[in-house]
Structure 1
Amino acid sequence: MEHKSAIVIAMFGTTVESALQGLLNIWRKMTARYPETPVRIAFTSNIIRKKWRKRAADAAYRQAHPEIPAEIFEVRTVLATIADLQDQGFDDIVLQPTHIAMGEEYLDLGTYVDGLLRMGTVKKAKYKPFHKVVLGRPALGTFGIAHPYGDDILAVAAALAADAELARSAEAALVYMGHGNEHFPSAGAYVELAHRMRQLYPGLLTVIGNVEGFPVLADVAEELQRFGVRKVLLKPFMIVAGDHSVNDMAGPEEDSWKNVLERKGFEVLTAERGLGEIDAFAELFVRNAGEAAADAGITLR
């Protein structure tokens, strides 16, 4: 029996038009790497999908934004996207998230995969809806013995060479604002990445803090002060430079990271560019999808 393969890229999504480039860059690189394999985009955020559906029905908005592809206006949930592919005869699915770390959203996708694989038929196994469904790794890796997470962290550090050079040219420390979370212990991966960045780019101090969970902004400021830093390049450690970047990182509010650091006496430069816009970083997800397929014996073309 011939099995047909497809890739679904699971993204949280964004409503900020300029931030879409971080997501679309990953999608374009995936389609370029596997031109004969359907590559679909799915957004996991209900609120973001609803906003795009509203925009899709607004003819004036669509005319004003010809740069936004139909894939965004028509974006669906992960399960709906996979169901459409199954209806079209695709039974080998590679689900590749664009998450940074193994947090709750990544684990949720794992439950989707488990559920899809348990679907069967009473009569004949060949009529099962899916042959194989696999989940690719987030950027900073996951647990397991096939792909050591430390290798993924080193690959991420290498992919951030352009950011390191930008900070060096400005004679500033590199400060990343990550999302983080308060429920899963993913902070260790951020701390390890900052350490590897310092090793890979000697003379450049890299510090990573999170909007939620450890390390918080106060921890970042304390470390900068400990190293005697006075000037920083502040950048989102997120796939897109979306709402968190526009508001929490560099917004006009008193509690934005930029304003807080400036009140503490730091000179703050900002670079509002999502990680997905960095080609080397986007390629990490393409690699992870390919490795997940290869591990499962799924052919991508």
Structure 2
Amino acid sequence: MKPGILLAAFGASNRQAHQTLRLFDEKVRQRFADVPVRWAFTSGLIRDRLAARRMKTDSVTKALQKMCFEKYTHVAVQSLHIIPGAEYDDLEAEAVQMAGGRDCSLAPPADGGVFFTAQARFEKITVGRPLLHSDADVTRAARALLASLPPERTAHDAVVFMGHGTWHAGDSRYDDLSAAVRRMDAGVFIGTMDGSHTIDHVLPLLLQEGYCRVFLQPLLSVVGRHAVRDMAGDHPESWRSRIAAAGMVCLPVLQGMVEHAAFVDIWIDHLDEAMERLLGSRG
């Protein structure tokens, strides 16, 4: 048996994001000290940008091909995505394809989440869940979200989190997270760039509640182009500009979710579960 771990993130092309992912890498290596760790970026656009700068990155398929060539027999692929959306679906599909697409099974673990195991080219592949996979994940992430609020925020300030969003059914997990957070703190709002709850839906709520100061944080794994440009940018359509134009003081906080230990712990626990399914005991 030769086990390995493949960490699969959407990807990013700036220094802060890469430093953040390195810190996550270190925590995984500490938790699974005897298991080699590899990386893949699921975004083709990010991989192309990095390739143009002569920085080599792998897709999930290519990373698994390399691991197969290196004679790995058991691989846990851990998603660093936020929701079980299209990126996560593609991640599962690539893992199934690399396993040959044979003897695949879908089965619910005890908490009602979904995992799959595929056996063929590798002896076994398991895929770890994204951050907001189960109802228990949502509750735990809501507490983590509140723990990540700026220390200088007062009871009179709002905090708005910007996620990516999608028209995939997995987008509903953002709504679940929003409901869970607002039961704990009504001054915290969650919106997404795409999907059913954008800044156009969040702004009227902020004005209705009469907030004068708003902290703006990314609901993204790392600080990449979306956080820097679409959230905190100076152009008129950025979330920062939209909130400021509505008459509120807007204070962006450029920290990704992987920079907060409480979120990292959720992903690593999911990897721990994937390793347990892979090897039959805790990794």
Deviations 1:89-125 (A, max 9, x none): 21111111111001111001111222233367xxxxx
Structure 2 Cα separation of the partners of residues 8 and 300 of structure 1: 17
Count of paired positions = 267
Deviations 1:214-240 (A, max 9, x none): 101110012222323222110111011
Structure 1 Cα separation of the partners of residues 44 and 172 of structure 2: 29
Contact persistence 2:40–2:57 (CA under 8 A): yes
The Cα of 1:41 is off from its aligned counterpart by 1.0
Q: Give the TM-score normalised by structure 2.
A: 0.87
Aligned position for 2:111? none
Q: Which letter maps to 2:143?
A: A
Structure 1 Cα separation of the partners of residues 31 and 45 of structure 2: 31
Aligned position for 1:210? 192
Aligned position for 2:128? 136
Structure 2 Cα separation of the partners of residues 48 and 191 of structure 1: 27
Contact persistence 2:126–2:277 (CA under 8 A): no
Kindly report which structure 2 residues correspond to 1:228-239, keeping only aligned pairs within 5 A, or say none.
228-239=210-221
Q: What is the root-mean-square deviation of aligned Cα atoms in Å? A: 2.1
**SS of equivalent residue, structure 1 residue 118:** coil
Give the 3 Å change call, closer, same or farther, for CA 40–294 of structure 1 in structure 2: same
Aligned position for 2:13? 15
Give the 3 Å change call, closer, same or farther, for CA 132–40 of structure 1 in structure 2: same
The Cα of 1:137 is off from its aligned counterpart by 0.6
Q: Which letter maps to 1:179?
A: H
Question: Does residue 189 in structure 1 map to residue 173 in structure 2?
Answer: yes
**SS of equivalent residue, structure 2 residue 91:** helix
**SS of equivalent residue, structure 2 residue 263:** helix
Contact persistence 2:77–2:125 (CA under 8 A): yes
Aligned position for 1:265? 247
Contact persistence 2:218–2:227 (CA under 8 A): yes
The Cα of 1:19 is off from its aligned counterpart by 2.3
Aligned position for 1:24? 22
Long gaps (5+) in structure 2: 103-118
Deviations 1:144-179 (A, max 9, x none): xxxxx1100011112224323536348411100100
Q: Which letter maps to 1:96?
A: Q
Relative contact order, higher structure (CA 8 A, sep 6+): 1
Long gaps (5+) in structure 1: 57-72, 121-126, 142-148
Contact persistence 2:7–2:38 (CA under 8 A): yes
Aligned position for 2:183? 199
Q: Which letter maps to 1:43?
A: F
Contact persistence 1:23–1:239 (CA under 8 A): no
**SS of equivalent residue, structure 2 residue 82:** coil
**SS of equivalent residue, structure 1 residue 82:** helix
The Cα of 1:45 is off from its aligned counterpart by 2.1
Q: Give the TM-score normalised by structure 1.
A: 0.82
Question: Does residue 164 in structure 1 map to residue 149 in structure 2?
Answer: yes
Structure having the higher Rg: 1
Structure 1 Cα separation of the partners of residues 148 and 232 of structure 2: 17
Q: Name the structure where strand makes up a greater proportion of residues.
A: 2
Structure 2 Cα separation of the partners of residues 111 and 97 of structure 1: 13
**SS of equivalent residue, structure 1 residue 160:** helix
Structure 2 Cα separation of the partners of residues 35 and 297 of structure 1: 15
Q: Name the structure where helix makes up a greater proportion of residues.
A: 1
Identity in percent: 29
